[in-house]
Structure formats: structure tokens, C-alpha cells
């Protein structure tokens, strides 16, 4: 596997983990589950030289998606989540893209595969990062 930018942040009153995943060649990044403290997420990415272009949501619960709308608006990013949890999402449909099982999106040149893993919510997903 080639180099990848990966950072874990523990944020919010529930100590949720938020992840930054990026391509060091293009300096494009994704944020996974930005529920809290969007200012710190943006500051961290900026300090590390990355532009957030994607917001990836593992499921629709508020402690995972609470900052998605704000972060997407501030960063000019697209929000991605599984269509089965679409009713949880508050961002405009023009800012959101609904993923299907096995769909691959790219963060820079780094492929990330959506794996539908229903159970916790009907639209729960895992993201498989490969480079």
C-alpha cells in the first residue's frame, strides 16, 4: 500500500472518533463521521495541508452526522452516505450523494469502497480504503 494521510480525532461530549483520510499526492481529503467541532476538523486538515472534499457518514445517528451539514458547507464538500439512512440527513440533496454497496469513490487517487453493513441502522456502512 502506498502512503496515505490518516488522522484520528477524538471529539465531542461523547468522545466520538472522527477520521481524516487523504491522498498525499493531491492533498485531497475525506472526513468520516464529523459529528462535533467542525472548526477543529477544518483547522487540522488545513494545518496538515489538506482540502476536505468529501464527508463520509457510516450511519445516520446524530452523534455521527451532527456536523456534516456545517462541514460540507464550509469546505465545499459533498456528503456521502448509504441511501437507506437518507432520512437522517439534513443537508440539501444537491450536497449529498447516496452510496450503494460496492460503490467506489476516490479521494484524490485513493479508492474508498462502500460496504453496506446494515444492523446498527439500515444504512450502516464501512469504508474500505485502498491505495
User: C-alpha cell of 1?
Assistant: 500500500
Helix/strand/coil for 113:
strand
User: C-alpha cell of 79?
Assistant: 456528503
Residues 68, 74, 76, 78: what is their CA dihedral angle, to the nearest 10 degrees? 0
Q: Across the strands, what pairs with 51?
A: 28
The Cα–Cα gap between 59 and 42 comes to 21
The model carries a pTM of 0.92
| pLDDT reported for residue 92 | 59
pLDDT tens for 5-18 read 999 999 988 889 99
Is residue 46 within a helix (H) or strand (E), and if so which, with residue range?
helix 38-47
pLDDT tens for 55-81 read 999 998 888 888 998 999 999 999 999
Mean pLDDT over residues 101-109, rounded?
96
Supply the mean pLDDT for the chain. Answer: 91
Instruction: Give alpha helix (H) positions in 1-131.
Output: 38-47, 62-65, 68-75
Is the pLDDT at 128 greater than 80? The verdict is: yes
Beta strand 28-32 with 16-23 is: antiparallel
Q: Across the strands, what pairs with 115?
A: 126
Amino acid at each position: 500500500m502506498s502512503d496515505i494521510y490518516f488522522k484520528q480525532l477524538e471529539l465531542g461530549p461523547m468522545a466520538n472518533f472522527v477520521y481524516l483520510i487523504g491522498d498525499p499526492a493531491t492533498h485531497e481529503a475525506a472526513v468520516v463521521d464529523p459529528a462535533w467541532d467542525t472548526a477543529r476538523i477544518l483547522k487540522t486538515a488545513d494545518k496538515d495541508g489538506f482540502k476536505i472534499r468529501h464527508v463520509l457518514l457510516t450511519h445516520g445517528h446524530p452523534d455521527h452526522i451532527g456536523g456534516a451539514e456545517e462541514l460540507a458547507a464550509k469546505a465545499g464538500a459533498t456528503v456521502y452516505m448509504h441511501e437507506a439512512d437518507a432520512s437522517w440527513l439534513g443537508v440539501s440533496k444537491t450536497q449529498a450523494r447516496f452510496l450503494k454497496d460496492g460503490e467506489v469513490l476516490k479521494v484524490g487517487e485513493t479508492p474508498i469502497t462502500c460496504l453496506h453493513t446494515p444492523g446498527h441502522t439500515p444504512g450502516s456502512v464501512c469504508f474500505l480504503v485502498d491505495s
